[in-house]
Amino acid sequence: MANRWGIPKDVEDLVKQRDTNCVYCGQEFLDIPESRKQKPSWEHIVNDIRINGTDNIALCCMSCNASKGAKLLEDWLLCNYCKRNNINEDSVAQIVKEAIKKPPRFK
Ligand SMILES: [Zn+2]
């Protein structure tokens, strides 16, 4: 069974438990969001929807997701949005650091 983003249910559950904050900017998600930053959205760290494991699926805020779009992670981290929000290779969540070191691949 998969959700409407094609993410398997077990992966969805694991990621929801793991990512209580945006994996990029660190903003905590709230049940009743007051802004786009407090609202989680599904993110493929590597922009390949076939890579559906917990190493590539994460939750990030709507704001980071909109900014990242289809950009490569490495490129996005250099953009003005990331500079403005102090998002960089050292500030991101562990799961993103691992994806930078060893990008998840389609198996
Ligand atoms: Zn964010």
1 has a pLDDT exceeding 70: no
The Å distance, Cα 62 to ligand 1 centre, comes to 7
Predicted confidence (pLDDT) at residue 107 exceeds the cutoff of 90: no
**DSSP tag of 71:** -
Dist. CA 40–CA 60, nearest whole Å: 5
C-alpha 25 to ligand 1 mean position (Å): 4
Q: Which tens digits make up the pLDDT trace of 53-72?
A: 999 999 999 999 999 999 99
List the domain boundaries for the chain.
9-98
